Amino acid sequence: MTLLKSPPIYTPQSPTRPAKRTVGRSYQAIIAMTLITTIMGGGIGTRLATLQLVEGKQNVQEANRNRIRVIPKQPERGKILDRKGRILASSRLSHSVYVWPLAQRKTTWPRTLRRLSQLLNIPEAEIQNRMERAGYSSPYLLRVAWGLSREQVTALEEYSSELDGIVIDVETVRHYPNGKVASHVLGYTGEMNDEDLERRKDRGYRLGDVIGQMGAEAAFESQLRGEWGGQQVEVDGLGQVVQFLGTVPAKAGQDVRLTIDLEIQKAAEAALGDAQGAIVAIDPNNGAVLAMVSRPAFDPNIFSTRITEKTWAELQSADNPFVNRALQGFAPASTFKIVTTAAALESGKYSPYTVLGTFPYLTVGGIQFWDWNRAGFGPLDFAGAMAWSSDTFFYQIALGVGGPTLIEWTRKFGFGQKTGIELAGEEASGLVADETWKNLELGEDWYAGDSVNMSIGQGYLQASPLQVAVMFAVPANGGYRVKPHLLKDNEEAKNWRESLDLEPVTVDILQRGLRQVVTNGTGGAMNDPTLPPNAGKTGTAEDPPRLSHAWYGGYAPYDKPEIIVVAFGENSGGGGGAFAAPKVKQVLDAYFKMKNRQG
């Protein structure tokens, strides 16, 4: 490169004056130079002494930092196990290809990257972009593809003479031996995007790192991740590698044991089949999640190879398979009559011995609110109204207790807030509307008809299948709201639940009503002698103009519950008793058969 010289600087001179005395000027200059040299020499000597004697150790360390670098090696991710130690997610070996920016100068990389692009069928611009983001002086290996086929590895080896700085290595990638089973619980892993990197770079994450993207993989990332290792290398002043100095082994991540039971999970998967919806099974005593299924599902193994934008778009378009419907809000329908009953009895406005007439419909605010059978059921008490799911019975209850009381108890049962499960980023809070919400959102007051709709789980009310399971736990365990969780531990049940302080008579009426649903009500499909005595509740939620949602939640054994199962069919039609109850029965049947085998 040629440098242009600056033009000479012109400085105006003062007018000519008589010459001054110059005798002794040469001696003054010599003396001044001697003093300056002495002072400078002393300063340099002092600085050298400081560098060698005082800061010597620090400077050696700094020089080593500039000379010695580490090429990182990603650790093997910890396994995810079910409650009995069976593998749900592990790792397998796979070939990956890396670019080592230090291996070439920036000017010589384009030809190599062009050849690599051709061999891997990856857009050259994509590889180039990754190089520029990492920096051409980066000492780190930069992964550009993983899950290579045997043919790709062979092709890279054949053209190795043209691929200076391209490294093929064997690393571990995630493997899910059961395919789609529990995919929404487990989630998947994938490379960080720019936003992920910005949030995590202060925790040691680097461009190209693989992290948990959803489910347990994301929730337990810190345990599963492990600690990086790598190779120490010496580099020269140009950043070129001179020699390898040694290897620091990576430390594998911790294994994580979930509360999921693989056998029950598979039974729930089979029960739901291809129907769009969800099934949740929990322990009513401590909230441990035994199974969680959502449809449509996906195979997390697809993320163990490179996913193109086109493939990702195709996956997303198939009715949102990555949405965990077990954690999304829907109208809970008549399952919600559990809350309405508790609100009535605990408010003191209705006695446990209340009997009300039921009718084809009630007129409230000039609107006819019909019973589901369009005829009514005659006089009913609380248990009978639960058994037959009489709408007009619960309409009257709602009008008697009023909207604020019903809303208060709805929230006490856990609706309108996240349950506390570790998948918080994927969980919806649901909706429990009140007058303030209605004023803000719709510009309307709260009407009596809103309370009527709410009493049967319709209107401005949404709950997830998991929240509905938490609701069923209250009568099942004697009055406690549980906190659902996925991480298995040995804590006592009391640490996972809190009392709602229900009166014993309230719990008794709820239990008897839910039992009568099975013995002589809308849940007759569950009245099977091959199952232990059980209790439950049907629900059918209108969703016009689409088909209705179908619900059934149940628990068994009735006298000492061990498991709650909630089945939900999204726009399935058919009603809770016909569509959802048989699916719950299938899961309970698998659970008790497994229990009997194990003694």
Predicted local distance difference test score (pLDDT) of residue 11:
33
Examine residue 46 and state whether it is found in any structural domain, yes or no. no
Structure tokens given for 460: 């401005």
Question: How many Cα atoms occupy the beta-carbon half-sphere of 432 within 13 Å?
Answer: 22
Same domain, 192 and 101: yes
Domain end: 233, 257, 281, which one? Answer: 257
Residue 309, domain member (yes or no): no
Q: Is the pTM of this model over 0.85?
A: no
pLDDT of residue 445: 96
Residues 226 and 361 in one domain: no
User: Does the structure show a pLDDT above 80 at 333?
Assistant: yes
Cβ pair 188, 217 in contact under 8 A: yes
- Distances, alpha carbon 105 to alpha carbons 162, 237, 281, 317, in Å: 15, 13, 58, 43
Percent of the chain with pLDDT over 70: 86
251 and 331: one domain?
no
Could you tell me if 428 and 558 lie in one domain? yes
* C-alpha of 224 from chain center: 14
| 363 and 238 assigned to the same domain | no
Q: Which of residues 215, 238, 257 is at a domain's end?
A: 257
Specify if 23 maps to a domain.
no
Residue pLDDT, tens place only, 113-172: 999 999 988 888 888 888 888 888 777 778 888 888 889 999 998 988 889 888 888 888
Give DSSP secondary structure letters for 454-495: HHTT-SSEEB-HHHHHHHHHHHHHTSEEE--B-B-----GGG
The reply to whether 460 and 563 lie within a common domain is yes
Longest dimension (CA), the chain: 134
In a domain, 286, yes or no: no
In a domain, 276, yes or no: no
> Does 351 lie in the same domain as 247?
no
For residue 374, the domain's CATH number is: 3.40.710.10
CATH assignment at residue 82: 3.90.1310.10
Token representation of residue 497: 């639940």
Distances (CA, A) of 66 to 70, 165, 248, 467: 11, 21, 19, 56
Whether 253 and 333 map to the same domain: the answer is no
Confidence band for 175, pLDDT divided at 50, 70 and 90: very high
Please state the domain count of the chain: 2
Examine the pLDDT at 48 and tell me if it is beyond 80: no
- Which of 257, 290, 313 finishes a domain? 257
Is the pLDDT assigned to residue 19 strictly greater than 90? no
Cα–Cα nearest to 332, from 498, 420, 477, 460 = 460
b/e map of 33-48 (b: 16 or more CB within 10 Å)? eeeeeeeeeeeeeeee
* Torsion (CA) 343, 344, 348, 350 in degrees, nearest 10: -170
346 and 248 together in one domain = no
Q: 């856990």: which residue's tokens?
A: 414
pLDDT at 374: 97
Quick: pLDDT tens for 76-91: 899 999 999 999 999 9
Average pLDDT in the 340-352 region?
A: 98
130 within domain boundaries: yes
Contact by Cβ (8 Å): 543, 571? yes
Segments forming the whole domain that contains residue 245: 69-257
> Is residue 272 within a helix (H) or strand (E), and if so which, with residue range?
helix 262-272
Residue 72 has what pLDDT?
67
In a domain, 351, yes or no: yes
Residues 344 and 196 in one domain: no
Backbone angles phi, psi at 282, to 5 degrees: -135, 160
Render pLDDT for 471-489 as a digit per residue (tens, 0 to 9): 999 999 999 999 999 999 8
- pLDDT category at 55 given cuts 50, 70, 90 is low
Contacts of 141 by beta carbon, 8 Å cutoff, 6+ apart:
71, 72, 98, 99, 100, 167, 169
Per-residue pLDDT reduced to its tens digit, 408-456: 999 999 999 999 999 999 999 999 999 999 999 999 999 999 999 999 9
Among 113-117, 310-314, 351-355, the minimum mean pLDDT is found in: 310-314
The C-alpha atoms of residue 526 and residue 586 are separated, in whole angstroms, by: 10
| 63 within some domain | no
pLDDT (mean) for 278-288: 97
pLDDT higher than threshold 80 for residue 63: no
Q: Containing H/E element for 151?
A: helix 150-158
Q: With contact defined as beta carbons under 8 Å apart, do 518 and 524 qualify?
A: yes
Residue 137, SS3? coil
Average model confidence (pLDDT) across the chain: 87
Q: What is the mean pLDDT of residues 582-594?
A: 97
The residues near 76 (Cβ < 8 Å, ≥ 6 apart) are 91, 172, 226, 250, 252, 253
Average pLDDT over residues 526-540: 97
How confident is the model over 199-221, as pLDDT tens digits? Answer: 887 777 777 788 999 999 999 99
Q: How far apart are CA 401 and CA 343, in angstroms?
A: 8
Residues 420, 530, single domain; the answer is yes
Binned at pLDDT 50, 70 and 90, residue 4 comes out as: very low
Note whether 171 and 93 are within 8 A (CB): yes
What is the average per-residue pLDDT within 316-329? 90
- Cα separation, 56 vs 65, in Å, equals 14
Instruction: Please tell me whether residues 421 and 566 are part of one structural domain.
Output: yes
- In whole angstroms, give the CA distance from residue 339 to residue 123: 57
